[in-house]
Amino acid sequence: MEHHSDPEKASVASAPIANRRHRVVRLIDCVWNAILLIPALWIFGSTHLRDPGAAYLVIASAAFFGLLRAILGLRVFLVLTYVPALFGVLAVGADWLRDVNLLEAALIRPDPREAWPVIQPYVVWIALAALLFATPIWVLFRTPSTRTARRKRSSATLAAITVALVMVGAVFHRTVLRAWPLNVISVAAASAIGRDDFIPTASAYAATNPRSATANWGASRLPGLHPQNEIYILIIGESVRADRLGACGGQKQVGIQHDAIIYCDVTSGSSSTHTSVPLLVSREMPGGAYRVSKDATFMKAFEEAGFHTYWLALQERGIAWPDAEIDMFLTAKRTDRESLLPSLRSVLAQNAPRKLIVLHAYGAHFSYCDRYDPATAAFQADCSKLSEFPDESTLPDFLRAYDNAVNESLRFVDAVISEVAQAGGSSFVMFTPDHGENLLDDERKLFQHALKDPTHWDTRVPVVMWASDEWRAANAARWERLRANQGAKAMHADLVPTLLNAAAIRYVDERQVAVDLGAMSPAADRTRWVMRRLGEKVDGDRLR
């Protein structure tokens, strides 16, 4: 007896299964596309003042992923966008847990040694997320009957959509190419073809020098007799909070040994090295559209006034793109004294009567125990406890280690002053860090710096000023004014005018809010601006 299967009944029986599979695929498709847009919706807004707005960047992101999905089909689309999808979730996590803009952090290419301590507490969760995001791809490829093949579309329709999007991108490229993930793609493409000049169009944090070779400060020396030998030094520290100095309310062991003037209430330009340092050495104010402008740094003003200029740094060139006549980017050792003093001695010994030297140190940057010699430290800290994110039990060791790192930063300043004093002549030394540091100071439990939003703790920094006897004798009134202003509410923008006028250099600077602390006191009611992100600033005195 023969049995014949009924194709129609089999088809009816399999229909519910096929429908369920289809619904699962549609769900995966929708959720995946939503996740891909998370960086654009959550953390990536308009980064330049000229951008029409964040909404256009989101639209550009959605159009890019939509076109890619239409052309590739779901299976290939999921494979090719696995990394962006995973990044989206990690970006939200970084923003939510640490107030860190992960997109900006990735674009500035951080040192892995600095990034690892921040990432380490979340490694397990990152691995679980990576596994979870691989699951839908595995499910789709393990289910041949699932309708993952792309629908038949007219080649002409796809071509028309593609051409339209390309034309829109060409017309509005300064906005569109800043949209996620087109910014990263554009940077990679420009680097691959050697068009570094194009990179800033796509990313404000790209590694290319934007400074114009023709920019100048219109500088010259004021009339009068000037010393035969002059040395001016700006030391840019790292991650030093004002309130940790003994003179500013901290431990009395943390301080300067020389007779110096110390300012305790100074706002930094931002809470991030990559935006604070370019502001510090420029005539720009927080809130500008570019991380590093086309303008020259204040070193150009010293050069125009007849000084030889030097930039000695432990941190990379791309942070500020210095325009000194001679620059040296050195390998960091345990302390700034070990790393920078030999090169400083070499520069001081050069036969140049007038010198401006900028020293960019590593200061008190995390990991704190890596910044000082435990054998000579002022405080005993158990560094074995500092590999994880701090909590109430380990915070005391973190604070002791941080105070040691801050103290080592000041010992470096003392060492620089000693070298300059030994060189003789008329000299002036100024020290300030790029920003401060969060140390679980309040209920937010924030740690380190360069978070999404600046705080009081990571933007309140000290300034130290020292001058030789010869300089003080010739500038007695200016030195007394600097001392009288110690209690004033100063900001980083005041330091370049103070340093230039200390050298009797006149120059062009259209900023009205920045003052020369050696000639006048800042207005008590002025707003001390701090950059929140490119194109956006906040009142530094309202930060908590």
Average pLDDT (509-537) is 92
Nearest to 25 by CA among 69, 62, 59, 67: 69
- Residue 486: other Cβ atoms inside 10 A: 16
Domains annotated on the chain, with CATH? 7-202 (no CATH), 231-542 (3.40.720.10)
Q: Residue 58's pLDDT band (boundaries 50, 70, 90)?
A: confident
Give 354-389 as a DSSP string. EEEEEEE--TTPSSGGGGS-GGG-SS---GGG-SS-
Residue 255 confidence (pLDDT): 95
Residue 433 confidence (pLDDT): 98
Nearest to 340 by CA among 324, 323, 316, 361: 361
Residue 192 confidence (pLDDT): 73
Q: Rounded mean pLDDT of the chain? A: 85
Angle between helices 7-36 and 123-141 (to 10 degrees): 150
Is the confidence at residue 231, as pLDDT, over 90?
Answer: yes
Nearest to 300 by CA among 320, 286, 282, 273: 282
Average pLDDT (231-254) is 97
Mind listing the pLDDT tens digit for each residue in 177-187? 777 887 777 76
Buried/exposed code over 69-106 (b: 16+ C-beta within 10 A; e: otherwise): bbeeebbebbeebbebbbbbbbbbbbbeebbbbbbbbe
Burial label for 354, CB within 10 Å (0-12, 13-18, 19+), is buried
The strand pairing partners of 223, in sequence order, are none
Q: What is the share, in percent, of the chain residues with pLDDT greater than 70?
A: 81
Give 239-273 as a DSSP string. S--GGGSGGGTS-TTSS-SSS-EEEEEEE-S-SSH
Mind listing the pLDDT tens digit for each residue in 120-169? 778 888 898 889 888 888 877 776 554 444 444 556 666 666 666 666 55
Residue bearing the bigger pLDDT, 57 or 394: 394
For 535: left if phi > 0, alpha if psi spans -120 to 50, otherwise beta; the answer is left
Mind listing the pLDDT tens digit for each residue in 187-209? 677 767 776 666 666 665 556 68
Amino acid present at 67: L
Residue 150 confidence (pLDDT): 45
Residue 16 confidence (pLDDT): 66
What is the pTM assigned to this prediction? 0.78
Q: Residue 61's pLDDT band (boundaries 50, 70, 90)?
A: confident
Residue 410 confidence (pLDDT): 98
